[in-house]
Structure 1
Amino acid sequence: MHKSRYTTSQIREILNAKGSVATDNPISILLTDSRRISNPSGGLFFALSGRRNGHEFIAEAYNAGVRDFVVKQMPEGYFPEANFLIVPDVLTALQQLAAYHRKQFNFPVIGITGSNGKTIVKEWLYQLMAADKNIVRNPKSYNSQMGVPLSVWQINDRNNLGIFEAGVSTVGEMDKLEAIIQPEIGVLTHIGSAHDEGFADRDEKIEEKLKLFKNCRLLIYNYEQLLEYKEAVKTPEKFIWSRKFNQADLYVFSEAAIEKNYYMRAVYKGEEIECLVPFRDEASIENAIVCWATMLALGYSPAVADDRIEKLTPVSMRLELKTGINDCSVIDDSYNSDVQSLEIALNFLSQQNQHPKKTLVLSDIYQSGLQQDVLYRQVAELVKARGVNKFIGIGEALSAHREYFDIPDKQFYKSTTDFLTHLQTQQFRNEVILLKGSRTFEFERISRMFVQKAHETVMEINLNALLHNLNFYRSKLKPGVKVMAMVKAFSYGSGTYELANMLQYNKVDYLAVAYADEGVALRQAGITLPIVVLNTEVTAFEKLTAYKLEPNIYSFGLFDEFIKYVQDSNIFHYPVHIKIDTGMHRLGFEDFEIETLCDLLEENPYVRVQSVFSHLVASDAEAHDLFTLKQINIFEKAYQQIEEVLGYRVIRHICNTSGIIRWPAAHYDMVRVGIGLYGVDAAIPEEENALQPIASLKTSISQIKKILAGDTVGYNRNGSLTKDGKIATVRIGYADGYLRAFGNGVGCMLVKGTKVPTVGNVSMDMCMIDVTGLDVREGDEVVVFNDKLKIEELAKQIGTIPYEILTNVSQRVKRVYFYE
């Protein structure tokens, strides 16, 4: 979102694109998502092809005001004012334009890659050098084939340093990113196992990453990381750091934990220097050393580097959606503020439909590279375009530019303290509040006032993982096959509108709930997608029609009752779904009942059949494949009979999560994704890592006790240690969903990466774990399940299924939703 430098015709020339330019428009922003259009008159829309073909959304973007498009072929439809730039590959064109833009500037650019730590190192280098430089960098972790060009496009005349991270997942990608970033200085972070699956071996992955540095003047890296690849490092200059090799440019020879800090001594240019890091975990320490080495390599004095590193603050790469006071929702992004990340946060705010009002609390924005009047005009336009109803500006600069904000309900304060002094929390009710502040404004103080208090057991839901899993299943479908997302049972324990908003925003076709009340709650939260109620009850008919919920009709009795209800209510063509029992023997019409059902459906004016469906009993089990084929055959016969008598096509669906993977021939018109959305699918081998677990259940240690061998622990004296040790009491029990079956060593939890067993019986609100030999303190985090200790493992421990583990997590456990 910088000052325009190009016109449509200039970009056509840069891209060597075909197509005529009817009106030569100024271009200031690159668009890739028709749902995220804030400046349509200055936007250039790239119709990218991925899991969804961007050409399908040209009409939507055009209707939003966009008039310039980069496409692979001319779209169907009438777009009289549009300019279409036709290129062989749209993503390549996006990268080509960004690379051209990058070449117009001549200042140092740092390129960062590695398996882990890229975003943290980038953000910390920004913190460390922002006092001296006007820095342009990737927003959040925009480090992909699409994210990097969008990031580089942000470069403007006021910048004098660029810091861009680049991530690759397979061979052949880094050359493209290098051509866009064109780094002069390279920084290699930790090389780990992330994305190993995209490469033949670790060697191939490292060689791919090193391509980012092929034209660099200087490379900063860990000696041990590239010990076997010294010949592959071609940069004229190298700055090596090490914790083992005493000939390194920065040799860290002494390390010690001091309370919550980490103290290091090193040799640099023959002199001993020191550095205090305000973190103690190994990942943060290594990332801090990378930053320390980078600052020294760029000419900062050891004293300045030490002073600034000591002041490093945590990097929050994720938005947090939390339950707030007075029926509010709070989106907490209170650790950074720039125009790009503001746009990301406002996009997430616009997805939230559970409250009638959207509120933004924003601080002054630093280091934008723009003059203040230009910056705050852009911010005001963005805020208005995203439908913000209430705006609260905090800071001298925002207060000075208040006239730019055309919002009836707006307030301005000179400081966070000023705002808190005047804060009356009762004025905030039934709204979604986005907190977006530069770190110096300490917006965490505001967050504490707005967020509903809860006990320290928290279930974290990763919305990016949910989207990843949705897109994984979409990638298995042929074009045109619809997706029904199962959000029954509190979305398998993971939430209601929080997940439904994300699914609606990403254009699933249907949602499915178990009972009408679940559907009513979604409607009241602003969900407009079609919603199917699977367990239709006669007593809920009024709710069904009042909230436009679509019933599953599975028996003659239910059919007769519903027809009578809609007939008495003078309702015609109400959408219904017909369930066929092909062998599950739970709900549905059996094959011998189909003919009678057809007689009832024939020329029935009161209902319109939206879909005919059935449910596979054992779609994941090879041993039952013959039975699955039998189910499919019964289903095909049934829907053919029903369609014939109806005289129109219906949506046909039988595949559940595992069926999508194992039975592609049975995808028909729609598939139903259930537990797979949440990261579990028995049909996918665990080693494939195709899905990402979306939920992490965490608690904390409330007390630590030393226990002698033979001392009993917990109710009924069932627990003890075989030798002297210590136990930790943690804040979770069977009322939270951690079942009594996990007690007495059956279950285990993760403490500082180590699995530790339970001791004694699980109580209602707490349980005990054996932490003998671990350096733990009261308040330390304890993981019940996450991506390392998976719910599948917990299910095996007590002889159940992952569904039960997820859905058992109590409503009293606070849910926090993350979105990156």
Structure 2
Amino acid sequence: MANIDQLYQLYLESTGICTDTRKLQKGNLFFALKGPHFNGNLFAEKAIEEGAIAVVLDESAYYQEDKSFILVRDALTSLQELASYHRDQLKIPIIGITGSNGKTTTKELMQVALSAKYKTFATLGNLNNHIGVPLSLLSIDSSYEMAIIEMGANHVGEIASYCEIARPTHGLITNIGKAHIGEFGGFENIVLAKSELFDFLKKNNGIPFINTEDAVLKNMLKRFDNAVTYPNEDDFYAAKPLPGSIFLEMETNFHDKISTQLVGQYNFVNVAAALCVAHFFEVPKKAAEKAVSDFQPKDMRSQLIKNDKYNIILDAYNANPDSMELAIKSLSSAENTESVVILGDMMELGESTQLEHEKIGEIAVDLGISKRFYIGKMIQAAKKTDTFGQFFENKADLIAYLKEHPLKPGSTILIKGSRKNALEELLPHLS
């Protein structure tokens, strides 16, 4: 069995870590991970043939008497231990980030703001789980001056385990809401799980950045004497959409107006978080503001797509009751346009599934959304609160309907639902 020093030496000699032979590059160190539907041990020999410097595997049936084959008790545990060992070598601030909504957008805003002064690493995409966190850490080389590690969770104890690997020096919880409430087993458990990041910082003299617009997070202030808060009245006192626009504009106490390319007033706290963190690390004010102004959202997160007919807000990466309500509210504030929602099912709500989908119909009606389309089985519950909405079991039925009843040119359309809905597939039919 290999020890951690041997593994770390191989890591230093490698061109990076790989867990999928389809993405393997010459010189990678391959970890044969296992899951419910895959077994990396089956591909150990193939990884070597395709140029891996070595493979780390945990099933002796696939082991070969060769220095390129490293047998361990558990490949995932070894990957996590290697990441933890590497973390010990890094002498830079590491900011942990979690939250129910907005953590990826906030992470990316923080990265661009901090990058105005420092070479800043941030978790790629959604590599924020038990595999993604160690892979992210192992992507940080000695050239980086700062790092942001995103942490996702759907059960208690998960973020605590990531903190033991990443050992953040600073931390930020965007907010605490109802995301994955069915998996957590209740809102109280969501609070417990998300606050594990702050628990770690408290025990290790780390510094939390606390969103005081979130009542649950604001209540955690009393646990710290070194907390940094946002948004503060002396820093950010106004947030409003541009006249006739759905983009966020905000104003500072210096009367600077910051125009962003982010859709929705709900993004205010995300921008405020990024500027707060940048200010704490002494990034020049103007440079940080320009960075967030220039930031363009992507990956189906509040992404604005304009074509000859419509303005489309593609927010189809994920959805939960809180983010759904905020997105609909933002759409309702758009001026001089017909508002349209295309809403899909919200997953992992457990016993709250029926009630939360009913509420979404009520919200859309109360906010005066002109046309309301619902796709999926769960969201059929919104019929109870939206008797004049259009309901479809699948995307094909909605597409057929829109061919016969095209939307008014110039409409602003919000497309939002959980990832499983794949609502981005509607885009070719909205042009």
How has the CA–CA distance of structure 1 residues 748 and 82 changed in structure 2, closer, same or farther, with 3 Å as cutoff?
Answer: same
Task: Give the secondary-structure state (helix, strand or coil) at the position aligned to 1:75.
Answer: helix
- How far residue 241 of structure 1 moved from its aligned partner, in angstroms, is 2.1
| Superposition pairs of residues 612-631 of structure 1, within 5 angstroms | none
Are 1:273 and 1:302, in contact at CA under 8 Å, matched by a contact in 2? no
Partner Cα separation in structure 1 for residue 210 and residue 68 of structure 2: 46
Are 2:275 and 2:288, in contact at CA under 8 Å, matched by a contact in 1? yes
How has the CA–CA distance of structure 1 residues 14 and 175 changed in structure 2, closer, same or farther, with 3 Å as cutoff?
Answer: farther
Partner Cα separation in structure 2 for residue 283 and residue 297 of structure 1: 23
- How far residue 178 of structure 1 moved from its aligned partner, in angstroms, is 1.0
Partner Cα separation in structure 2 for residue 292 and residue 204 of structure 1: 30
Are 1:99 and 1:149, in contact at CA under 8 Å, matched by a contact in 2? yes
* Residue equivalent to 2:14: 27
Identify the structure with the greater helix proportion: 2
- How far residue 307 of structure 1 moved from its aligned partner, in angstroms, is 4.1
Tell me whether 1:225 sits opposite 2:214 in the alignment: yes
| Superposition pairs of residues 618-767 of structure 1, within 5 angstroms | 687=350, 747-748=389-390, 765-767=404-406
Moved more, 149-158 or 258-267: 258-267
- How far residue 303 of structure 1 moved from its aligned partner, in angstroms, is 4.7
* Residue equivalent to 1:51: 37
- How far residue 205 of structure 1 moved from its aligned partner, in angstroms, is 2.0
Partner Cα separation in structure 1 for residue 49 and residue 21 of structure 2: 10
Task: Give the secondary-structure state (helix, strand or coil) at the position aligned to 2:275.
Answer: helix
How has the CA–CA distance of structure 1 residues 85 and 688 changed in structure 2, closer, same or farther, with 3 Å as cutoff?
Answer: farther
Tell me whether 1:70 sits opposite 2:56 in the alignment: yes
Task: Give the secondary-structure state (helix, strand or coil) at the position aligned to 2:96.
Answer: strand
How has the CA–CA distance of structure 1 residues 239 and 273 changed in structure 2, closer, same or farther, with 3 Å as cutoff?
Answer: farther
Tell me whether 1:312 sits opposite 2:294 in the alignment: yes
Structure 1 length normalisation: TM-score? 0.38
Structure 2 length normalisation: TM-score? 0.67
* Alpha-carbon displacement from aligned partner over 1:424-443 (angstroms, at most 9, x marks no partner): xxxxxxxxxxxxxxxxxxxx
How has the CA–CA distance of structure 1 residues 139 and 233 changed in structure 2, closer, same or farther, with 3 Å as cutoff?
Answer: farther
Are 1:116 and 1:189, in contact at CA under 8 Å, matched by a contact in 2? yes
* Residue equivalent to 2:269: 286
Are 2:81 and 2:165, in contact at CA under 8 Å, matched by a contact in 1? yes
Are 1:114 and 1:167, in contact at CA under 8 Å, matched by a contact in 2? yes
Letter in 2 for 1:66: A
Partner Cα separation in structure 2 for residue 111 and residue 199 of structure 1: 21
* Alpha-carbon displacement from aligned partner over 1:4-62 (angstroms, at most 9, x marks no partner): xxxx97745568xxxxx9x99933321211222112x3423233344322223223323
Are 1:217 and 1:236, in contact at CA under 8 Å, matched by a contact in 2? no
* Residue equivalent to 1:194: 179
Task: Give the secondary-structure state (helix, strand or coil) at the position aligned to 1:171.
Answer: coil
* Residue equivalent to 2:280: 297
Are 2:14 and 2:53, in contact at CA under 8 Å, matched by a contact in 1? no
How has the CA–CA distance of structure 1 residues 56 and 786 changed in structure 2, closer, same or farther, with 3 Å as cutoff?
Answer: same
* Residue equivalent to 1:254: 238
- How far residue 94 of structure 1 moved from its aligned partner, in angstroms, is 0.7
- How far residue 464 of structure 1 moved from its aligned partner, in angstroms, is 11
How has the CA–CA distance of structure 1 residues 154 and 176 changed in structure 2, closer, same or farther, with 3 Å as cutoff?
Answer: same
Are 1:109 and 1:162, in contact at CA under 8 Å, matched by a contact in 2? yes
Partner Cα separation in structure 1 for residue 308 and residue 406 of structure 2: 18
- How far residue 114 of structure 1 moved from its aligned partner, in angstroms, is 0.8
Are 1:144 and 1:168, in contact at CA under 8 Å, matched by a contact in 2? yes
Task: Give the secondary-structure state (helix, strand or coil) at the position aligned to 2:262.
Answer: coil
| Superposition pairs of residues 297-696 of structure 1, within 5 angstroms | 297-300=280-283, 302-309=285-292, 311-317=293-299, 687=350
How has the CA–CA distance of structure 1 residues 70 and 768 changed in structure 2, closer, same or farther, with 3 Å as cutoff?
Answer: closer
Tell me whether 1:38 sits opposite 2:38 in the alignment: no
How has the CA–CA distance of structure 1 residues 285 and 217 changed in structure 2, closer, same or farther, with 3 Å as cutoff?
Answer: same
Between the two structures, name the one with larger relative contact order (CA 8 Å, sep ≥ 6): 2
Are 1:121 and 1:291, in contact at CA under 8 Å, matched by a contact in 2? yes
How has the CA–CA distance of structure 1 residues 228 and 194 changed in structure 2, closer, same or farther, with 3 Å as cutoff?
Answer: closer
Any gaps of 5 or more consecutive residues in structure 2? 320-343, 354-367, 374-386, 393-400
Task: Give the secondary-structure state (helix, strand or coil) at the position aligned to 1:103.
Answer: helix
Moved more, 225-234 or 202-211: 225-234
Are 2:93 and 2:146, in contact at CA under 8 Å, matched by a contact in 1? yes
How has the CA–CA distance of structure 1 residues 463 and 298 changed in structure 2, closer, same or farther, with 3 Å as cutoff?
Answer: closer
Letter in 1 for 2:227: K
Task: Give the secondary-structure state (helix, strand or coil) at the position aligned to 1:207.
Answer: helix
Letter in 1 for 2:294: L
Task: Give the secondary-structure state (helix, strand or coil) at the position aligned to 2:192.
Answer: helix
Partner Cα separation in structure 1 for residue 252 and residue 315 of structure 2: 40
Partner Cα separation in structure 1 for residue 12 and residue 186 of structure 2: 48
Any gaps of 5 or more consecutive residues in structure 1? 1-7, 16-20, 243-247, 320-334, 336-447, 466-678, 691-724, 731-744, 751-761, 770-776, 792-805
Are 2:95 and 2:172, in contact at CA under 8 Å, matched by a contact in 1? yes
Partner Cα separation in structure 1 for residue 105 and residue 348 of structure 2: 32
Percentage identity across paired residues of the two chains: 21
- How far residue 749 of structure 1 moved from its aligned partner, in angstroms, is 7.8
* Residue equivalent to 1:781: 413
- How far residue 150 of structure 1 moved from its aligned partner, in angstroms, is 0.8
* Alpha-carbon displacement from aligned partner over 1:135-194 (angstroms, at most 9, x marks no partner): 122112211111111111111121111122111121222122112222212122122222
Partner Cα separation in structure 2 for residue 461 and residue 301 of structure 1: 32
Are 2:310 and 2:413, in contact at CA under 8 Å, matched by a contact in 1? no
Which of 146, 160, 172 aligns to 1:175? It is 160
Partner Cα separation in structure 1 for residue 402 and residue 125 of structure 2: 41
How many residue pairs get aligned? The number is 361
Are 2:11 and 2:17, in contact at CA under 8 Å, matched by a contact in 1? no
Letter in 2 for 1:54: G
Letter in 2 for 1:255: A
Task: Give the secondary-structure state (helix, strand or coil) at the position aligned to 1:219.
Answer: strand
* Residue equivalent to 1:656: none
How has the CA–CA distance of structure 1 residues 728 and 144 changed in structure 2, closer, same or farther, with 3 Å as cutoff?
Answer: closer
Letter in 1 for 2:207: L
Letter in 2 for 1:120: T
Tell me whether 1:206 sits opposite 2:195 in the alignment: no
Are 2:160 and 2:196, in contact at CA under 8 Å, matched by a contact in 1? yes
* Residue equivalent to 2:336: none
Tell me whether 1:237 sits opposite 2:222 in the alignment: no
Are 2:261 and 2:294, in contact at CA under 8 Å, matched by a contact in 1? yes
| Superposition pairs of residues 44-123 of structure 1, within 5 angstroms | 44-66=30-52, 68-76=54-62, 79-123=64-108
- How far residue 99 of structure 1 moved from its aligned partner, in angstroms, is 1.1
- How far residue 111 of structure 1 moved from its aligned partner, in angstroms, is 1.4
Letter in 1 for 2:120: I
Are 1:256 and 1:262, in contact at CA under 8 Å, matched by a contact in 2? yes
Task: Give the secondary-structure state (helix, strand or coil) at the position aligned to 2:105.
Answer: helix
Are 1:217 and 1:235, in contact at CA under 8 Å, matched by a contact in 2? no
How has the CA–CA distance of structure 1 residues 195 and 161 changed in structure 2, closer, same or farther, with 3 Å as cutoff?
Answer: same
How has the CA–CA distance of structure 1 residues 726 and 685 changed in structure 2, closer, same or farther, with 3 Å as cutoff?
Answer: closer
Partner Cα separation in structure 2 for residue 231 and residue 462 of structure 1: 32
Letter in 1 for 2:29: G
Q: Which has the larger radius of gyration?
A: 1
Letter in 2 for 1:65: G
- How far residue 106 of structure 1 moved from its aligned partner, in angstroms, is 0.8
* Residue equivalent to 2:359: none
Are 2:48 and 2:55, in contact at CA under 8 Å, matched by a contact in 1? no
Letter in 2 for 1:87: V
- How far residue 96 of structure 1 moved from its aligned partner, in angstroms, is 0.9
